[in-house]
Structure 1
Amino acid sequence: MHTAHAHRRLALIDLGTNTFHLLIVEMPTVPGEKPLVLLRTKAGVRLGEGGISKGVIAPEAYARALHTLAGFKEEIELHEVTETRATATSAMRVTRNGPDLVRDIFEQTGIQVDVIPGEREAELICAGIRQAVPLGPEPHLLMDIGGGSVEFIIADEGTIFWKQSFEIGAQRLLDQFFPNPAGIIPAAAVAAEQDYLNAVLAPLAAAIKHYKPVSLVGASGSFDSLADMQLGELRSEAHLPPFTELCLASFQDSYRHLLSGNHEQRVALPGILPMRADMLVVAAVLIDYVLGISEITRIRTSAYALKEGLLAEMLVN
C-alpha cells in the first residue's frame, strides 16, 4: 500500500458494548521505539442499551453506532491513516443483528470490523494492561468490565495462568437487577446480584483459590470512573495516566455513595460521567464481590485495555 508519505499510521478501533474507542498512532521507523499517539478518543454509544438482554441491538443504538463510526472515519482520513484495525466484542458477538451492523459499517465507512471471541478479548486486554502496569513476577487478577461481557485474567508479567470471559457486563446486570435506575438500588436487588454472581463466577472463585493473585488490576470505564471519584474530578481520555492506585477505602466510600443515592444524586457525584452513573452501581457490586472472594486489598486501574493490547501485538509482529 503506497501512500505519499512513508509513515505507517495506524487506527485502532475498539467497538465495545458501552463505549467505542479510537486510537491513532504513528508507528516507529526505528524498532524498539514507542509509537507516537496522534489521537486518543472515545464515544459513549451504549450499543447494548434497550436490547442486549433480548439478543438484539436496538434501532437507536444501531444508529448511534453508525453515526459514531462516521465521525471516526473523518478523524482517520484527517490523520492520513494507512491501516485500520477494528474489533468488536460482546454486543456484536451475541446479537441477531450484529452481522447486519458489521455489514452496514463496512458499506458506509469502508471499515472492516472483526468480531472477536471472549477468550481473544481477554488475551488482548491482558496485553494492554501489561503496557500500563508493571505486573512483575507475582500473579494478579486482571478484570475488564464491559457493557456486555466481563473478562477475568490471572497473569504475571510474562504468563497468563487462567482467563475467562463471562457474559455479565454492566448493561446486562443493569437490565437484570436494576431496570428502573431512577431511584436508590433496593437492598434486595444488591443481594440478588450477589447471589447471581456467586453462581456464575464459581470458576473464578476456584481460579483465585488456586493461583492466589496478590492484587486487582481493573480496566475499562467503571474503573476509570472510580479513580476519577477518588480524585473528585472527571478526567479526559488523554489525561489519564497509564495506571492509578485506587485506595481500598476510596472504593468502599464510592460504593457506599453509589448505593445510598438516587439517579440524580449519583450523577452529581464528583468525577462521574452521567451515562455511567447507573451502570456504575451494578459494576461496583461486582467489584465488591470480587474483592470479597479474593481478599485482595490493592487495586490499580489501568487506562490501557484491548486496543493497546492490539497495538502491542502489532509492534511485535
Structure 2
Amino acid sequence: MKIEKLAGIDIGSNAIRLLVVNVITENNAPAPVFKKSAIVRVPIRLGEDAFLKGEISENNAIRMQKAMQAFSLLMDVHGVKKYKACATSAMREANNSVEIVKSVFNSTGIEIDIIDGKKEAEIIFSTDLSTIIDVKKSYLYVDVGGGSTELTVFSNGKIINSKSFKIGTVRLLNKESKQFIWKTMEKWIKENTHHLRSLSVIGSGGNINKLFKMSEKPIGKTLTLHYLEAQYEFLSSMSYEDRITVLGLNPDRADVIIPATKIYISAMKWSDSHKIHVPKIGLADGIIKNLYFNKL
C-alpha cells in the first residue's frame, strides 16, 4: 500500500479553502482511493473588494497572506508532498492581484495560479462523478461561486459545451450582476439544453451543500425544484440574524445562501429540470485529482 498526501487551495470570492487528501493506492486495486484528511475554510470575502472597488484592500490582502502562511504550516505538518493553489473570479478582476500573488510567494513560498472561468470549470468537472452519472443521460453542471457561475452541459458521457458567467453570490449581494447577464445566461442554458430529454442538474458549491445538509436527506438522494423554491421562500422570510441564531448558519453563509439558491432555481427552470444531484465536490477536489494525474 502507498499513501501520498496532496493538497488543493481554492482562493474564491467568498472564502479561501485548504483541502488535504490521502491518496491510497494498492497493488490489486483498480483505482486509487481519495480520502479527505483535513478541510480548512477561512471566510475572507475578496469579492467585496474586487467587484466594488476593483482591487483587494490592504486589510484583506494581509488576511489572505496570513491564511497562506497558516496553510503552508498545515501542509508541512500533514506531510503534503505536492499542492496547487488556484484563485478565481475575485483575483481575476482585482487590479492588484499580480502584486498580491508575488507578496504571498515571497512570504510563504506558495505559488498562486489565477485561472480563468473555463479552466475553473474544467478542473471542477474533472472530479469523480461516476457515482451519480448515467452515461446514457444528460446533465447541466452548475457551480455557483462568489463571483461567477460555471456551467457545463454534458450528454452521453461527453461535454457538449461550457461557459462562465459573472453571476455569483457576492456580486448579487452587492448588486453587481446586471440584468443583461441573467438574460444571457438564460439564453445560453436554453439553447444548450432544449434538445436534451430528461435532463438533471448537478450542483456544486458550499451553498448547495448546505441546502442538501439542511434537507436531512441521505447521501446520494436528489433535491427537487419544489424543495429549493420552498427553501428560498423560507430563508428569505427570515432575518440575517435569525438565519445565524435559529438555523445555525455561519455569518458568511447566512447572507450568500439566498442568492445562491436563486441561481440554482433559475438554472433548473431554464433547463426544464426538476431535480438536482449534490455530490459535494468543488475546485479543491478537482485540483487534487489533476495533481495526482499530472494534469496541472
Give the TM-score of the pair, scaled to structure 2: 0.87
Task: Specify the alignment match of 1:259 in structure 2.
Answer: 236
Q: 1:128–1:157: structure 2 CA closer, same or farther, 3 Å change rule?
A: farther
Q: 1:160–1:276: structure 2 CA closer, same or farther, 3 Å change rule?
A: same
Q: 1:60–1:114: structure 2 CA closer, same or farther, 3 Å change rule?
A: same
Task: Specify the alignment match of 1:230 in structure 2.
Answer: 215
Structure 2: which 5+ residue stretches go unaligned?
A: none
C-alpha deviation, 1:248, in angstroms:
3.3
Q: Secondary structure at the match of 1:21?
A: strand
Deviations 1:28-73 (A, max 9, x none): 3546221343223322221212442332112332222122212211
Q: Could you tell me whether the CA contact under 8 Å between 1:257 and 1:266 is conserved in 2?
A: no
2:109 matches 1:110: yes
Task: Specify the alignment match of 2:154 in structure 1.
Answer: 155
Q: Could you tell me whether the CA contact under 8 Å between 2:193 and 2:271 is conserved in 1?
A: yes
Task: Specify the alignment match of 1:293 in structure 2.
Answer: 270
Task: Specify the alignment match of 1:28 in structure 2.
Answer: 24
Query: 4+ residue runs of structure 1 moved beyond 4 angstroms?
Result: 192-196
Instruction: Say which of 183, 194, 212 aligns to 1:209.
Output: 194
C-alpha deviation, 1:153, in angstroms:
0.6
Q: Secondary structure at the match of 1:285?
A: helix
The one-letter code sitting in structure 2 at the alignment partner of 1:226 is: L
Task: Specify the alignment match of 1:248 in structure 2.
Answer: 225
Task: Specify the alignment match of 1:236 in structure 2.
Answer: none
- Partner Cα distance (1:69, 1:280) in 2: 26
Structure 1: which 5+ residue stretches go unaligned?
A: 1-5, 178-191, 233-239
C-alpha deviation, 1:199, in angstroms:
4.1
The one-letter code sitting in structure 2 at the alignment partner of 1:19 is: A
2:82 matches 1:83: yes
Q: Could you tell me whether the CA contact under 8 Å between 2:201 and 2:275 is conserved in 1?
A: yes
Q: 1:74–1:93: structure 2 CA closer, same or farther, 3 Å change rule?
A: same
Q: Secondary structure at the match of 1:14?
A: strand
Report the aligned-residue RMSD. Answer: 2.6
Task: Specify the alignment match of 2:279 in structure 1.
Answer: 302
1:261-276 matches, cutoff 5 A: 261-270=238-247, 272-276=249-253
Task: Specify the alignment match of 1:171 in structure 2.
Answer: 170
- Partner Cα distance (1:276, 1:10) in 2: 27
C-alpha deviation, 1:124, in angstroms:
1.2
Q: Secondary structure at the match of 2:235?
A: helix
- Partner Cα distance (2:277, 2:3) in 1: 35
Q: Secondary structure at the match of 1:27?
A: strand
Deviations 1:135-193 (A, max 9, x none): 4321101111101111011124731111001111111111117xxxxxxxxxxxxxx97
- Partner Cα distance (2:131, 2:18) in 1: 17
Aligned residues between the structures: 290
